[in-house]
Amino acid sequence: MEGTTATAGVATERARLAALVREADSVVALTGAGISVPSGIPDFRTPGTGLWERVDPMEVAHIDAFREDPARFWSFYGERFATLGGKQPNGAHRALVELEGQGLLDGVITQNVDMLHARAGTRELVEIHGSIASCSCPACGSGVALGAARELLRAAADGVPRCEGCGGALKPDVVLFGEMLAPEPLEHARALCEQADLLLCIGSSLEVHPVGGLPALTAGAGGAVAIITQGPTPLDGLAAVRLSGDVVEELEALAGTLCR
């Protein structure tokens, strides 16, 4: 009986979510690491499997680590480039593209740097923490694409890919610990959330700020918030819809209801 009740509850929440999307003039998605886990990319904080379980982010992913010991920094990021470089979008990414293509989704704000939304074909994409798609030289400002950065890394005798112009250590175009978010994508994200009738929070713990504060902008402007992620979040009480199932299953179900 408990299983039947739980299944009915999920069906009710899914139906409510589909109705909210249909009724909304503007729907925006906010995605976190959980949407990429089905693509084989570990999240950061899950006990036992999270990326920060095996390395201290303050030692390998902080801006001071890059500045003080670029070789150690790149020993971590080189592995991360290799891990992320071959990953492909999953059904959750594709479902969002389908919703966007049907005019049911205005855009995606992502905390992820893995390029999977772009690879899936999302058109209106705000990569609020940057992307591994490129690297730049903090010394002179020149940049290179991911493929060229990986070639420079492979050829580097000291393990540090360097700018071919000035010789400075290249830095991935991602926001490291200790860095401020770039103002342009953050303001774009805030504007999207403030005008959204519905914000879909997908695969995010909603614990990292200022991104964790974006749903409050939607709610404060009179919009609804739906949270689709496994595990609790500090904003569960704000959610008009709360789904805790697999993100691929949930988003494919939503797209299947609305787009076919």
Beta-strand (E) ranges in the chain? 27-31, 107-110, 125-127, 130-136, 143-145, 171-174, 198-202, 224-228, 241-243
Q: For residues 145 and 126, what is the distance between their CA atoms, to the nearest angstrom? A: 19
Token pair, residue 144, equals 């290179």
Produce one character per residue of 197-212: b if its CB has 16 or more CB atoms within 10 Å, e if not. bbbbbbbbbbeeeebb
Residue 132: both structure tokens together: 């591994």
* Cα separation, 227 vs 208, whole angstroms: 15
Is the distance from CB of 72 to CB of 57 less than 8 angstroms?
no
What is the C-alpha separation between 217 and 121, in angstroms, rounded? 27
Q: Which residue has the tokens 């959330």?
A: 193
In the set 93, 117, 129, 188, the catalytic residue is 129
Is-cis flag, bond preceding 210, omega within 30? yes
- Is 188 among the catalytic positions? no
The length of the chain is 260
- Which active-site residues does the annotation give? 129
